[in-house]
Structure 1
């Protein structure tokens, strides 16, 4: 209980500090002090992860490894982005408001997964989404930002209403507001099959909307107008919330037909997101489409009962995607730097990469008997290795160094995976899914991959042209969500002259 009080106290201090920022009498350098205050909740979350009894509940709150680990991850990620904003957003007219809203959004997201009450969970589910909408609206003078904020508010409201309805239905069926009691084996055993399926469908709807999954991907694709740090918060943190929501309610999904519905929607999102990322020329929109595909893979893992793998996926994706967004300015081409590509690409080199990917995938499948959905994990691991090997082969120089780096990253990834598995296995349930469901996921992804290879080798065909134009069409924002020139800057200059 002491560590709960310490965490809430430090989060409260950060929120009070963020309100002080809005007072114009506070000097601007107080922003740096505020970013320092944001370290206090991180220290409290780290202490809680190390010292707290991870199987205790304190009234409306719960203490398990997943809750403390996600609080630590979200708060740390928010602090890193706030540090980046110190210089990146300096001079912006809403400079102080960005830090205030960022603190509110990150704090609410960090506390969401500590709730043991359905009513509080529903409330905290909406708070980070509200904060994200307000962060997007800070550029209200710019029409695309206003349009994106309105679209986000509409779909996020639908997500919140779906979770509200699911929570109300679960309480009505079980008679418990406490999540641990409502999801106990006895409570679930008394649920009718149609009640479980109905609640699960609502939970899936609540989860896939913030994750930008098909058919609700439009808001995510139009969110590229937000400032880069806000995009980092969105794609590294809040879009991951759907996987955590399904993990918390995982006991309801075990053996239910709704798993197949989630599998189909997530698989379609993976294929569409990957296709959009290939046809887009705008770097931020490529990252947005990549997020759509990665969240689809995470939800496929949830559909197969591999919740530990899904949590590991969302954490690593969050760190990776935040880095890509914050470093997006470095992709501007350097005219003085020339990249030499190999003119004679050896087929032996490509075949070796494919064989290495196959060998690693088979080895993982044979040596991980405790891993759930290990066939899908082996496929993703082997395919990723073969793909990266093929990318390295394109360059004329540095192949050996690239392979050494690739091997090092593979070993580091394996070590991180094993460490997280040991850390989370006590608080994240493990279910054995049917081989039919797993084979369905593998079949969909392999079919999509082979279709992509066929289209890439038949670029002059009518089918390729139609597919290409369709992906361009669904990947482009609506006309009111873009502007050839930010006209609000002209209004700023006009006011300055007056």
Structure 2
């Protein structure tokens, strides 16, 4: 009873603050309101993520109140989405000052993050569908914010078409679920008696629909075009995409996890995500445009996130989505600093370095094996062990083996221990916060992990062999990746011609 009252109190305050944020967004749109009001607006929207974070820390029980589902996962996601929205809006106060769409930008960004957080707080599938649809609509409008620029209009139309397809597919899946179970509440749908009503083909069909509706907003191959085209939008908009929009696939699949358990669609997801990892990495490596490099990296990282979902590692997927969202948003907001010239870093390998490199290799091997032996029959544990071992080796080589003298290596060891400590603290924190909100007992067998490793290793070996042979196949792959990452003709303009047209008419550019 105490937990229920606590959840009602936190949720009431949270909803009131979200309504206040929306009201503030409408006030910004009033022309008579001074532009400086945006500073007041920033203070108002800062309140809701604070309350969401406090609810996450002090009252993270699993409680369903009406059409809303309050647990640590929903509070964490709301905190994450609204915090990135706050950071991006604070950054944009001066970054976009003078832009003709300045007021509209803040209003749209506030509305998009609010409905995004509400979508994943809902237990009613109809509310989830409406909230997610409004989120995609808001992102589409943000991408086409500079509607006078035909390049932005084309990018917005491309994204809109992809999002409409994704939303309609999700609509079909949700209606199908209701027809089978007779419930709109997700908590009721995922009960064992409701799940038993699905026969094999219905479950597979619904899972395929959910899969497609998930990988389109996640910009997975072959639906990555919309994210590549969206780089024409202002950089803060590229940053806000990582606030529970591009990376919302982890939430979708986590919420529907019991429906996915043991279904063959997970193999399809594993294969498509693995291909996306390779394609995204390839685009990142061949592109010279910094924002397109970041987009290629996002495609690959979202692939890894969905691989984690396919292997049943939902804790890893949620952690990955949140940390990657914070990290990649920061990189986008710092995109301007990439214009500086940097000299390549060269390492002079000393005889003693080889000894330290061997020590790092042995340490990585031992830690990887020890980690795998904790759960040797789970598919994701094998993948995690290899990633952990390889990461330890790389970190050891960069920080310690290539250190200059005793001081350099001592500093490297301190940094290595510090990084390992932070990693462990983050892992423990997320595990404790989400232990009661994530599906349990859903782990894929070792065969799924082996399948993933075979796909990635074969592709890596073949790619390396083609490159070293300098064959026509390697050249073809290279050109294909270049073409895949390059914009279409209607998304290229040497100079924004709408500015010239405005000046010729004597209009105000801003």
Correspondent of 2:346 among 319, 341, 360: 341
Correspondent of 1:410 among 416, 420, 436: 420
Structure 2: how far apart are the matches of 1:165 and 1:131? 22
Correspondent of 2:141 among 126, 134, 146: 134
Shift of 1:475: 1.4
Which one is further off, 341-350 or 418-427?
A: 341-350
Residue in structure 2 matched with residue 317 of structure 1 by the alignment: 324
Residue in structure 1 matched with residue 57 of structure 2 by the alignment: 50
**What is the DSSP-based 3-state SS (H/G/I as helix, E as strand, rest coil) of the residue aligned with 2:64?**
strand
Shift of 1:323: 1.0
Shift of 1:384: 3.6
Equivalent pair of 2:145/2:233 in contact (CA under 8 Å): no
1:189-234 deviation per Cα after TM superposition (whole angstroms, max 9, x unaligned): 1210111111100100110001000110111111111111100011
Correspondent of 1:446 among 457, 468, 479: 457
Residue in structure 2 matched with residue 204 of structure 1 by the alignment: 211
1:39-86 deviation per Cα after TM superposition (whole angstroms, max 9, x unaligned): 121122123223436222111111111111111111111111111111
Shift of 1:301: 0.6
Structure 2: how far apart are the matches of 1:441 and 1:326? 33
Correspondent of 1:263 among 270, 275, 287: 270
Residue in structure 2 matched with residue 90 of structure 1 by the alignment: 97
Equivalent pair of 1:341/1:395 in contact (CA under 8 Å): no
**What is the DSSP-based 3-state SS (H/G/I as helix, E as strand, rest coil) of the residue aligned with 1:98?**
helix
> Is 1:80 aligned to 2:87, yes or no?
yes
The correspondence of residues 31-430 of structure 1 with structure 2, limited to 5 A, is: 31-52=38-59, 54-334=61-341, 338-342=343-347, 348=354, 354-367=361-374, 373-387=380-394, 400=409, 401=411, 404-430=414-440
Equivalent pair of 2:60/2:75 in contact (CA under 8 Å): no
Shift of 1:385: 4.0
Correspondent of 1:437 among 448, 464, 470: 448
**What is the DSSP-based 3-state SS (H/G/I as helix, E as strand, rest coil) of the residue aligned with 1:171?**
helix
Shift of 1:454: 3.1
Equivalent pair of 2:280/2:297 in contact (CA under 8 Å): yes
Shift of 1:378: 1.7
Using a 3 Å threshold, how does the CA distance of structure 1 residues 469 and 25 change in structure 2: closer, same or farther?
same
Structure 2: how far apart are the matches of 1:177 and 1:188? 14
1:394-448 deviation per Cα after TM superposition (whole angstroms, max 9, x unaligned): 9896964556434422321221012101211211113121221121112212223
**What is the DSSP-based 3-state SS (H/G/I as helix, E as strand, rest coil) of the residue aligned with 2:436?**
coil
1:235-273 deviation per Cα after TM superposition (whole angstroms, max 9, x unaligned): 343101111101100010001111111111111101111
Which one is further off, 194-203 or 337-346?
A: 337-346
Ranges in structure 1 where 5+ consecutive residues have no aligned partner: none
Using a 3 Å threshold, how does the CA distance of structure 1 residues 119 and 365 change in structure 2: closer, same or farther?
same
**What is the DSSP-based 3-state SS (H/G/I as helix, E as strand, rest coil) of the residue aligned with 1:373?**
helix
Shift of 1:359: 3.6
Using a 3 Å threshold, how does the CA distance of structure 1 residues 429 and 497 change in structure 2: closer, same or farther?
closer
1:93-140 deviation per Cα after TM superposition (whole angstroms, max 9, x unaligned): 111111111100111111111111111111111111111011111111
Which one is further off, 246-255 or 351-360?
A: 351-360
Equivalent pair of 2:349/2:402 in contact (CA under 8 Å): no
Shift of 1:465: 1.2
Shift of 1:381: 2.5
Structure 1: how far apart are the matches of 2:243 and 2:466? 31
Equivalent pair of 2:378/2:446 in contact (CA under 8 Å): no
Using a 3 Å threshold, how does the CA distance of structure 1 residues 206 and 197 change in structure 2: closer, same or farther?
same
Structure 2: how far apart are the matches of 1:168 and 1:307? 25
1:122-176 deviation per Cα after TM superposition (whole angstroms, max 9, x unaligned): 1111111111011111111222211110010000001101110110000000011
Residue in structure 2 matched with residue 493 of structure 1 by the alignment: 503
TM-score normalised to the size of structure 2?
0.91
Shift of 1:89: 1.0
Structure 2: how far apart are the matches of 1:341 and 1:393? 15
Using a 3 Å threshold, how does the CA distance of structure 1 residues 397 and 143 change in structure 2: closer, same or farther?
farther
Equivalent pair of 1:243/1:302 in contact (CA under 8 Å): yes
Ranges in structure 2 where 5+ consecutive residues have no aligned partner: 1-7
**What is the DSSP-based 3-state SS (H/G/I as helix, E as strand, rest coil) of the residue aligned with 1:27?**
coil
Using a 3 Å threshold, how does the CA distance of structure 1 residues 67 and 235 change in structure 2: closer, same or farther?
closer
Equivalent pair of 2:63/2:69 in contact (CA under 8 Å): yes
Shift of 1:453: 3.6
Equivalent pair of 2:377/2:446 in contact (CA under 8 Å): no
Structure 1: how far apart are the matches of 2:413 and 2:263? 43
Using a 3 Å threshold, how does the CA distance of structure 1 residues 355 and 323 change in structure 2: closer, same or farther?
farther
Using a 3 Å threshold, how does the CA distance of structure 1 residues 172 and 410 change in structure 2: closer, same or farther?
same
Equivalent pair of 1:235/1:288 in contact (CA under 8 Å): no
TM-score normalised to the size of structure 1?
0.93
